[in-house]
Structure 1
Amino acid sequence: MTTTTYPQQRLSRELTVTLPGALLLLLMVSPVVWALAISNWAPGLEVLRPMALLGLLVGIFFARLPQLAGWAAHTFSAALALTWAIQLISPLMDDRLTTWRDQATELLIRTIIWARVINAGGRGEDILLFVFVLCLLVWALSYGSAWMVLRQGWTWRPILLNGFVALINYTYVLPKPTLAFFIFLCAALLLLVYQHVLQRQAFWDAAKIEYPDLLVVRFLTSAAVMVGLLLVLTAMMPGEVSLERATQTWDTLSSPFRTAREGWEDLFSTIHAPPGAGSGAFTTGSAPLGGARQLTTDLVMEVRSTEYEYWRGTAFDRYTGSDWQNTVGEQARAALGAASREQARTLKAADEPIPLRDTLARRQVDQKITLATDRLDDLIMVGGSASSVSIVTQIEHNYLNEGGTLVANYDETALMVSPERLRAGQSYTVTALVSGADVASLRAAGSDYPAWVRERYLQLPDTVSERTYELANRLVDEAGVRTPYDIALLYQSYLRTLTYNEQIPAPPAGADHVDWFLFTQREGYCDYFASAMVVLLRTQGVPARWVRGYAGGEFDAERGVYMVRENVAHSWPEVYFPGFGWERFEPTAASYTNLPQRPLTATFGSDPSEPSIPPSPPEPARDFEELDEGLEPHTAPPAVVVTPHEAPVPAAGLELWRPLAIIGGMVGMLALLWVLVYGRWRYEIRGLSRTRAAYAGMALLASWGGMRQADQSTPLEYGAALAAELPEQRRTIERIVGAYAREQYGGPQRGASGLPSLEEQRALHFALGRRIILRPAAPFGRAGANRDRGRAPRRA
């Protein structure tokens, strides 16, 4: 043990200091990056992990090179970050961009276009650019954390920075990455201990006080035990906080992080909304089929309408085997030669008509929508097909080439958004054309599909398995159905026999997600049911698309509105019928869904203005053999009565044992704390001579009580200050300090000449321990200075 760093010891000393810090940095940054990578903000976020790892290694290496100036290190780091980020995201780019230079040029062009859109007041929608920017931010987070801790000696700044990112992500994703957050919290606490020990080592080196080898490792081991005990005891404490109070507290604490997230969404509005993320990100360009989802009961909007409908948000046309993509905007951009999807949208003034072609058997219905929360994606919902909107609207639709002239095709509308932010409490009215098609008419609609329908809504990737085709063909052959309507009804009935379950694992990598759902998992939620039906229909040449939005909601009879909550966020298939347009089907047998109601044949003489009766709760799942040859069945089950969970009756004596258990736990924790502190104190002074052990033990206990030795003070000056604080122990302190000074500066002495007895040292330790608990308000040295004013300090 020594405080002097000789040349042969420098490497060992450097490793002793750097390795624990590097490990703690890895433990702190890794859960934050891991939570971002699984947050489902966008496809391809798995590149964040290697990005952060290299950034952390570079930060550690540069920080421990004192010869490397800060500006040079940061310049090299930025160059490495750009190079590594482009390399990692290259698989997400066009295959024709084969060289690094081509890929970098493409990103530069995308950045310029994105900046122009943002500067013009628009919202960014380049998901590749979002992944690239997130890679750079993750690099800055990991590299910056390593630099601040290992070069600057800062601790709180990197902890707060990582915590801020973790909390922004935590307020957004579901299910919550709780384990990752607790790992980050433990690493942050240990990093504080690590930095404190390094500061104390520097002080002891300056004071030429010996301390044991591997002090950082020993302190961190003790701290890790204490942090673990703290977490275990916290988890065992009884929770009596009401859900309402906990929700209010969380809303207050997470408010600034939600604000930061909303600002981020303005820059990249097409990032995915993980399930339960609220009223945001329905405008995303792709929607992955993932694992479990969890939705809240928060009210999203109220709809006043004479017709029950599903409220469509976004329609997706392309299936990739793992997600759905909305390519309508990109096709419109290419047709017009626009710079972005957003610029290719058509602006419609308030109440301006939207010309539609497929209007057979449709009736006009006004739908007044009142938002309960801010609509972060500014999406306009509609039941049916919109013919006008009461506010200014941007419509993302495709185009038809008629005789060399581009004509807007509003029958292929993917979404509608407001150019202004839609706020809570705001209302708008959509005049919609709602389908009233009957079964006979849809059966007779035929299969003479327009070219734009055949080109885009029969697409299937190579990932669709052979057994999926075989299942689709077998069901049709066994049922003997021929018309597209009957085929759709057949698949709808078959899928409703599968189990609805929101808590499913994520599909395995590389598997076609519809195949996994149909043959392996055999249960899932609406995303999988709708995807399976669209894929099955397309195998039979029946055009269909995948739609996401909200199911109809709960009807409030007193107010005459549908209450649409977040937990009815839904996806469903829409099938195209020539002349009639897109018709909704419902393969998901969930409590919040409803089968569409269609009469057997066309009806005459009905009053279209007469309000329809809101539908009853949906029927349970049926066997697919029960395919109706006429009217789709809909039977109203008995009313469901929701009763609160009964509170458990406490067992006899529970009220007595609970406080006893808490008191016993606290006493046990205090006893364990005393054992750990005493054990560490004895451990730190082991191997020292009796004189040096006496001085080191006294100084260690005194520092815990707020009486640290100043860098400029000698042992005799420090002893005088301690004696002034503890006058009853003056004689014992002076004898320990005198013996230490003689041995430290005058050479080793025989035995422990001049040391007080063990009983006197125990009395001093007891006094110092009482000082740790009952620390006075006055800073160390002030009281002694007042008492010893005018007395010159004695120097060694």
Structure 2
Amino acid sequence: MQIGLKIREGWSTLGLLTLMLLIVAWSINSAEWAEGLAILQWVVLVSLTIGLILAKSRLPGFVAHPLSLISGTAWVTFLIGTFLPSTLSWTEKLLNLADRLTTWLLTALGEESSSDSLIFVLTLAALFWLFSYLCAWFTFRSHRIWGVILLSGITMLTNLYYGPSHLVIYLIGYLLCALLLIVRSNVFAQEKEWQKARIGYQPDIGFDFLRYGAILSVIIVLFAWLVPTAAASPQFSLILDHFEEPWQEMQEHWRRLFASLHYQGQVNVNSFGKTMTLSGPVSLGTTPIMNVRARKGYYWRAVVYDKYTGSGWVNTDDETLSLDANSSSLPLPQFELRREVTQTVRPLQPGTNLLFAASQPIRVNLPARIELSYVPSSVAASQDSSSPAANISIMYSRSRFKKNQAYTVISSVTWADVESLRTAGTDHPTWVTTRYLQLPPTLPNRVRALAEDITQDHDNPFDKVTALEGYLRTIRYNELISAPPRGRDGVDYFLFDSRQGYCDYYASALAVMARAVGIPARLVSGYTQGEYQSISDVYLVRELNAHTWAEIYFPHYGWVEFEPTASQPLITRPEPESSEDLATDDFEASRQRREREEKEVDAEIAPETTGIPIIGTGPWSMVLWGGALVLLLIAGVMVSWYLWTREPRSSSPVECIYERMARYAQLIGIGWSAHQTPYEYAAALVEALPQGRAPIVQITDFYVKERFSSEGTDEGEIEEAKEAWHALRPTLWQQMIRQRLLRPRRLLSPFPHTSKSSS
């Protein structure tokens, strides 16, 4: 195998590519998704080396690529093996990895979650080897620089989107390297054309382009920083709508298969999906999510989970239904001691479509897509319909929300008092016990034993659940916990080992232990009420209000919320004497209040803005954007003009003048060919520009004397050449403008060969 030691693309190309890919690796390691990601930099360096060697060899792709896969497998396996106990032999390490991979693959095919972070590191290392090798191949063999930018850019942006905010510094470095790599690659392509046409150029011309490319790259990056997010564009949102559902599904599978990761990225309200994993640490910020106008604060529900897997929860609803705005045709469960409430929700995050509502949603004032299960018609006791009642678990708007768009939801919330719940009994319908008492066979017996021990002194479901709730609230609240070890039940680990966690763990423990003592329970995720804003009369819900709680089923009263999380206040139940009055609230007054609140939707206050202000809103937006564009254009024109008019790197002023004449002539379609002598080229120019005959001939005479005469040109002749150029330049400009306006033509070759010849 022969390898070219000289890199024709330039060492600067290799340096920029290496730095760019290392920045991507460093950004992922800095995001701290899992321990051990520092090995990615060594994966990049070795993969680039192998990729460079194979790209510079004469091996065809169908031979080089398998060699890369073999070497990559060996190198990644070696690096991953260093994380395993040093007491194991390499044979034992390989068997351990094989066992972990098999377990992970079986998990991927099922519904359970995986908390083995080593598999995540292994997967990422393998992907980095592949994409680093492809970047080297695209750069040094096929010379497809945009393949490099696409692969690395997608990786960088994905990590930035889901990672912490401090990663932005890596994006700046990446963009500068990427832009310079594009400049260098285009210079290399141009150099090949010049060499093919036997056109002379200075060897260090690439560094000139890199220097000025760096200036322009900084300008572009700074300008891009001011551009508002594309997700706020309605047109862009329409495009995203087509990818929303598959993207959400992929995110859910990712969270399920890599449950131990430290998820701390940008808030995304659509991240509430059909699976919820008991995973590792979380970091929630203060980003505003939505404003809600309602008579009081409630839990704003996003999704309901019914199946516990041991490592998380799954929503098993498989029915999907589309509803028109304000549709009331769907039979819904009817329970006692409930009241209707109206909420007007204004999302503050662009491009979302998940609908939030208190407790049991009844209808929404926009077209919606709901996921549900059907329960027996007997649940809809007050309805005449014989159709099954709909048990709604998730609601989506059929289109993404536009800026400042709000929606109104009517919900049915419980107003059952403590005494009513205490005497509700245990006559649970079959559809409830079949689905909401489910527990995995792998649940450790000590979880059941603990639940029975806590509730043994109580004789009714309400007091039993209250006792479980009180016990769980004694456990320490902590968001920076590690994920449960591989193969461990999440609730068992929370109750007996870690003894600390956040809302997902508290709510899961309550639901699981309630089921363990025969009480139907389910898990719900969404947001707490948020912070009440007295001036605007809305509840401001932020990212840090994301929450998970448990709901318990009581005969006649339906699903009732409980709060086991130690960091949240207990739920206050209404007094018995007020229950009947509030449950039988005057229907006409309720209807009038609801209509009045629905009319107020369009009068809602504008969403509060946070963070760094961005240009694009307000009466001066057009002026500011216009000014920014003008400044960018001026900067671009200045850089381009300087590159065009600067003195060429020649040995004398006369050669500079001749090369400048050739450059201008190129713009009017008079290119120089390698077989032409200077006088033949001058004749072609005179034929196209007869009015410039005298200065063209004069400049050519001085150029020939400078190039081929041992005497060269003196100071007087140099001044004459400059005067001839000043006389010729207006003629060239006039011809160029005339051709550009009336008869555009394709440009020919660039300026002629200028290397010094011996006389």
Map residues 353-502 of structure 1 onto 2, 5 A cutoff: 391-392=372-373, 424=398, 455=446
Match of 2:66 in 1: 75
Q: 2-side partners of 1:165 and 1:607: how far apart?
A: 58
Q: 2-side partners of 1:194 and 1:707: how far apart?
A: 27
1:196 correspondence with 2:186:
yes
Distance 1:59 1:421, change over 3 A: farther
1:759 correspondence with 2:735:
no
Which residue, 12, 17, 22 being the options, matches 2:14?
22
How much does 1:141 deviate?
3.0
Match of 1:405 in 2: none
For residue 526 of structure 2, what is the amino acid of its counterpart? Answer: Y
Match of 1:251 in 2: 237
How much does 1:57 deviate?
3.8
SS at the partner of 2:289?
coil
How much does 1:549 deviate?
1.7
CA contact (8 A) 2:285 2:544 kept: no
Which residue, 742, 745, 757 being the options, matches 1:779?
745
1:549 correspondence with 2:525:
yes
SS at the partner of 1:597?
coil
CA contact (8 A) 1:280 1:375 kept: no
1:729 correspondence with 2:719:
no
Q: 1-side partners of 2:481 and 2:659: how far apart?
A: 59
CA contact (8 A) 1:290 1:507 kept: yes
How much does 1:193 deviate?
1.9
Map residues 332-343 of structure 1 onto 2, 5 A cutoff: none
Match of 2:309 in 1: 329
Q: 2-side partners of 1:364 and 1:676: how far apart?
A: 79
SS at the partner of 2:547?
strand
1:681 correspondence with 2:646:
yes
Distance 1:147 1:608, change over 3 A: same
Which residue, 115, 134, 137 being the options, matches 1:144?
134
Map residues 277-296 of structure 1 onto 2, 5 A cutoff: 277-280=268-271, 283-291=275-283, 293=285, 295-296=287-288
Q: 2-side partners of 1:219 and 1:71: how far apart?
A: 36
RMSD over aligned Cα, in angstroms? 6.9
1:58 correspondence with 2:58:
no
For residue 14 of structure 2, what is the amino acid of its counterpart? Answer: A
How much does 1:287 deviate?
3.6
Match of 1:265 in 2: 251
How much does 1:74 deviate?
1.8
How much does 1:297 deviate?
3.3
SS at the partner of 2:525?
strand
How much does 1:21 deviate?
0.9
Distance 1:705 1:195, change over 3 A: farther
Q: Deviations over 1:690-736 (max 9, x none)?
A: 56544444445555777654567665665555445544434444555
Map residues 167-178 of structure 1 onto 2, 5 A cutoff: 175=165, 178=168
Distance 1:572 1:254, change over 3 A: closer
How much does 1:51 deviate?
3.7
Q: 2-side partners of 1:509 and 1:42: how far apart?
A: 10
Q: 1-side partners of 2:735 and 2:166: how far apart?
A: 44
How much does 1:26 deviate?
3.5
For residue 681 of structure 1, what is the amino acid of its counterpart? Answer: R
CA contact (8 A) 2:289 2:543 kept: yes
Q: 1-side partners of 2:102 and 2:357: how far apart?
A: 35
Q: 2-side partners of 1:253 and 1:269: how far apart?
A: 25
CA contact (8 A) 1:312 1:548 kept: yes
Distance 1:456 1:85, change over 3 A: farther
Distance 1:106 1:30, change over 3 A: same
Distance 1:285 1:433, change over 3 A: same
How much does 1:758 deviate?
2.1
Match of 2:563 in 1: 584
For residue 584 of structure 1, what is the amino acid of its counterpart? Answer: E
Distance 1:252 1:587, change over 3 A: same
Over the matched positions of the two proteins, sequence identity in percent amounts to: 17
Match of 1:571 in 2: 547
How much does 1:138 deviate?
3.5
For residue 596 of structure 1, what is the amino acid of its counterpart? Answer: I
Q: Deviations over 1:596-644 (max 9, x none)?
A: 11479x889969965799xxxxxxxxxxxxxxxxxxxxxxxxxxx9798
**Bigger relative contact order, structure 1 or 2, given CA contacts below 8 A and separation 6+?**
2
Q: 1-side partners of 2:230 and 2:151: how far apart?
A: 30
Map residues 695-706 of structure 1 onto 2, 5 A cutoff: 695-700=658-663
TM-score by length of 2: 0.56
Distance 1:708 1:249, change over 3 A: farther
Distance 1:760 1:32, change over 3 A: same
For residue 100 of structure 1, what is the amino acid of its counterpart? Answer: L
Match of 1:215 in 2: 205
Q: Deviations over 1:358-380 (max 9, x none)?
A: xxxx9897999999999999999
Q: Deviations over 1:179-222 (max 9, x none)?
A: 44444433333223212221232233334443323221222012
Distance 1:227 1:390, change over 3 A: closer
1:597 correspondence with 2:572:
yes
For residue 692 of structure 2, what is the amino acid of its counterpart? Answer: Q
CA contact (8 A) 2:114 2:311 kept: no
How much does 1:75 deviate?
1.7
SS at the partner of 1:276?
coil
SS at the partner of 2:267?
coil
Map residues 497-646 of structure 1 onto 2, 5 A cutoff: 530=503, 549-551=525-527, 553=529, 567=543, 570-571=546-547, 583-585=562-564, 587-588=566-567, 595-598=570-573
Q: 1-side partners of 2:245 and 2:606: how far apart?
A: 36
Number of residues of Structure 1 aligned to a counterpart in Structure 2:
591
CA contact (8 A) 1:16 1:216 kept: no
Match of 1:159 in 2: 149
SS at the partner of 2:58?
coil
Query: Unaligned regions of 5+ residues in structure 1, if any?
Result: 1-9, 317-325, 333-340, 351-361, 395-415, 443-449, 460-482, 499-505, 511-526, 538-542, 557-561, 614-640, 649-653, 783-796
Q: Deviations over 1:207-258 (max 9, x none)?
A: 44433232212220122123324555776x8x8x8x9995436535766776
SS at the partner of 1:265?
helix
Distance 1:196 1:643, change over 3 A: closer
Distance 1:674 1:84, change over 3 A: closer
Query: Unaligned regions of 5+ residues in structure 2, if any?
Result: 321-334, 361-369, 376-390, 401-407, 424-438, 451-466, 484-499, 511-515, 533-537, 553-558, 588-603, 614-619, 749-759
Distance 1:509 1:598, change over 3 A: closer
Q: 1-side partners of 2:200 and 2:726: how far apart?
A: 22
